[in-house]
Amino acid sequence: MKTIYLIRHAKSDWSDIDVHDMQRGLSKRGKKAIPIMAKAMREKGIRPDLVIASSAKRTKLTAKKLLKALGISQKIIYKDELYLAAPDTMLSIIHALDDQYQSIFLIGHNPGITEFANLMTDAKIENIPTLGIAALSCNSNSWKHCTYHHTALNFFIYPKMFK
């Protein structure tokens, strides 16, 4: 069984409109949501074998702070192609994974994260909000067999559920 934890980055900081989108950090609200979601993930026993994130500043910060809050010391792979990625790009990243990994965090942006979750599972998620997590499972031993319409949505959680 392969598990993909699709994670949208935490709420970004828009206080300086002159900052390029790739360089936006996290807002106070985004930073406050990280320990809330980390607690929910700990309660579900979530520990990824691999973490892949967009190279945008807000996704890098989300990945680092989330892993720290989870008490996980792990290398994070940053991929430029995940910045505002389309579902096909995400799927190609999944298909290229080594089968030694059983569960991954894929941290990115909307609208791609929501579209990808819906294509993979036939779910009807309207929007994965910031720091929302959609857990997908693929009943296979190979990432190459995780394809559109052939995974299940295990759960979908987001910060406002825990306030």
Residue-wise pLDDT for 96-131, tens only, equals 999 999 999 999 999 999 999 999 998 899 999 999
Tell me: the pLDDT tens digits for 63-95? 999 999 999 988 999 999 999 999 999 999 999
Looking at residues 26-47, what average pLDDT do you find? Answer: 95
Q: All domains of the chain, ordered by start, with CATH?
A: 2-12+21-162 (3.40.50.1240)
In terms of C-beta distances under 8 Å and separation of at least 24 residues, what long-range contacts does 108-112 make, across chains too? 108/6, 108/7, 108/8, 108/9, 108/53, 108/54, 108/59, 108/82, 108/83, 109/8, 109/9, 109/54, 109/56, 109/59, 109/82, 109/83, 109/84, 109/85, 110/8, 112/84, 112/85, 112/86, 112/87
Distance, C-alpha 102 to centroid of its chain: 15
Pairing mode of beta strands 2-8, 133-138:
antiparallel
SS3 content of the chain, % helix, strand, coil (to 5): 40, 20, 40
- Model pTM? 0.95
User: How confident is the model at residue 128, as a pLDDT?
Assistant: 97
- For the chain, give the longest Cα–Cα distance: 46
User: How confident is the model at residue 146, as a pLDDT?
Assistant: 95
| Mean pLDDT, the chain, whole residue set | 94
User: How confident is the model at residue 96, as a pLDDT?
Assistant: 97
pLDDT above 90 (res 15): no
Q: Cα–Cα distance between 33 and 133 in angstroms, integer? A: 12
pLDDT above 80 (res 38): yes
DSSP, res 162: G
